[in-house]
Structure 1
Amino acid sequence: MLKAVILIGGPQKGTRFRPLSFEVPKPLFPVAGVPMIQHHIEACAQVPGMQEILLIGFYQPDEPLTRFLEAAQQEFNLPIRYLQEFVPLGTGGGLYHFRDQILAGGPEAFFVLNADVCSDFPLSAMLDAYRHQPHPFLLLGTTANRTQSLNYGCIVENPQTHEVLHYVEKPSTFVSDVINCGIYLFSPEALKPLRDVFQRNQQDGQLEDSSGLWPGAGTIRLEQDVFSALAGQGQIYVHLTDGIWSQIKSAGSALYASRLYLGQYQLTHPERLAKHAPGGPRIRGNVYIHPTAKVAPSAVLGPNVSIGEGVTVGEGVRLRESIVLHGATLQEHTCVLHTIVGWGSTVGRWARVEGTPNDPNPNDPRAHMDSESLFKDGKLLPAITILGCRVRIPAEVLILNSIVLPHKELSRSFTNQIIL
């Protein structure tokens, strides 16, 4: 018997996912046509012996999240529950806080997945590796180039046994080109080191605060408090993958993740990909179109386009490398490139909405998405264009490399601006 835990986090002040996260919790943002964490759930549900999937985070259990969980339970015929943290407990604190629910029923092991990663989720391969050589912690790793590795947790492994000898989270100098993917397989024994960290935090806190239980004791960082501390002690191992993987930290990386997942659909969900049909729009490459969307036959879509529920795409529209969300309208002859069009937004006829992609270096197979910074020297850097919800773009204007906050009605062209 197996379980899975998906760490979905919660709303934070400095989120890089705005303005999109204003409307929907980030884990429910549609990537390649389905909510971000549905990709995780689909992968977990395919593992033989999976009995339950738990979501841990500190979002309020609102209507969209509840509706999604109910639909997912029906679709995958698995118990899927949300466990809400009372305060943010870090990447490991929620696992320890809800240890009784995780261990209920006596699972052989449990997967732990960060919600903000895109992957082909080689969970069955990880399970095979774990059963061949059981240890408390098995980490999924991949390779990065020397420069980008500094942005991730770096793993030094024994190449023969794959034991993790050294682990550093976001080092200041080069440590290793093997990085942590944020996808794990833990044995029930893995909760003991978490208990040790909790007890140590509690003791340290009581030294500072004599009033009793220190509220910060429950905050546990898997990476720094556990992996770094236990590396080299025969408890942590790494399973390397050369499959697709990327973090989803920002809207730009969500667009890149959509491209990766649409490519995966060729193998995993060919039924989700639009086909070129007589009298229908021209499809180039991988395109997802929700069944309720209305797309004019003279539109040209793709590659790497995702069109959401109830979207209207007019005659002569050109759409490439973009996500168009629920209820948006693209009027006749608009051109939308490298853009996320928010819920219920309208792009007027003959308008051009375009962004600049920040893709990994295509000549470097180990390159990943860079962590985009919005500003440099006080100026907005060129990046994908984002239209928040219910934005209205007038006819015959150009919106280039700009972020438009929700409910704005523009009257002219904009370049390299955040429109508040």
Structure 2
Amino acid sequence: MAEPVDVLVLGGGPAALCIASELNQRGVRVAGVAPDPVDAPWPNTYGIWADELKMVGLEPLLEHRWSDTVSYFGEGGSTAQDRCHAHGIDYGLFDRAALQRWWLERADGVVWHQDTAERVAVNGSTTSVSCASGTTLQARLVIDASGSRTPHIRRPDQGPVAGQAAYGVVGRFSQPPIEPGRFVLMDYRCDHLSGAQREEPPTFLYAMDLGDGVFFVEETSLALAPGVPYDVLKQRLQQRLDQRDVEITEVIDEEFCLFPMNLPLPDRRQPVLAFGGAASMVHPASGYMVGSLLRRGPDLALAIADALSNPAMGSVALAKRGWQALWPIELVLRHQLYQFGLSRLMGFNEGLLRTHFATFFSLPREEWFGFLTNTLPLPRLMTVMLQLFAMAPWELRRGLVLGAPGPQSPTFAQSSG
């Protein structure tokens, strides 16, 4: 059995590296358990509003940055340019290798065990983790940062979990699929869809010019339970490109994403702490999480380091202190508001969604930015939601209050079966 440490982190992705590095910076003895090497390349891209990184002084970690940031909420065709909405704020794409390297350098000295945690059990003042290799590791506190599908974190069953699904291509094209030099947050134009397809759950294009003739185009579903199948997303992306007479001439990379949007908060009485997706930190309104990791990791690490300084505190007490620091009542209430909003949007058809987002992005920039980054204090968040309701057309108000009948999709059901 390995020598006990203060904190054992489960996982090797962004959340695990973030919290391990923050604890390490505060002198905490940290070890980690990850099924793959922690320096293995990450498969997914991570986008973020540049001002979020400015808050934490990490703008140099961006590989790409766009000032021409827009969305489209019209139907398409002759009205497309009329409904182009300029966001007026920079958006960036992380240099994944640089972000990973930055966290690993800050976690210098952390011992990473390449293994799989199979069983986590509290033994008095410490917690033991039994691994697939037969190794048992011990720590005063275990933090599960292995993702939303972890079996080690308890959470209430509140019904099906909605997933944001996306299929994307990094590649070269016969002509630019979007305006050169541009970033497109949401393109809800639907003139490439058949009448029947418009009755199905809506999807939008998320796209960016990566330079040197390379573009990233991704068909995305806001949220659905179960998630929209990849083959449907791929077909819709192809139809969108065909409508614009754009052919893919070279596929450099493909991206497949599916992550939970309305995962219930974990049972915060359990003796194992969570962070990242395991702790339901994905923003229910936007699907983003890395900005939240960067903002909330330092405060959580500080609270844990302070609690660890009391040798009388065992695993149960340490986890309790950690849960209180990670999910104070303010953030719990904000999370509930966001989940309520998402439950309404999930029932909207494409026309109602286009109306909603056109209204939402007509809010003052600091308000929609704060909403999407979860940086508005609770009273102001409630004010912004009321303001959005007041601005909304009657049909949208009705949907926000009563909900809208969910779009029916026999095609999707067959595809996911």
TM range (shorter): under 0.3
Structure with greater contact order relative to length (CA < 8 Å, sep ≥ 6): 2
Q: TM-score, length-normalised on structure 1? A: 0.25
Which of the pair is proportionally richer in helix? 2
Which of the pair is proportionally richer in strand? 1
Q: TM-score, length-normalised on structure 2? A: 0.25
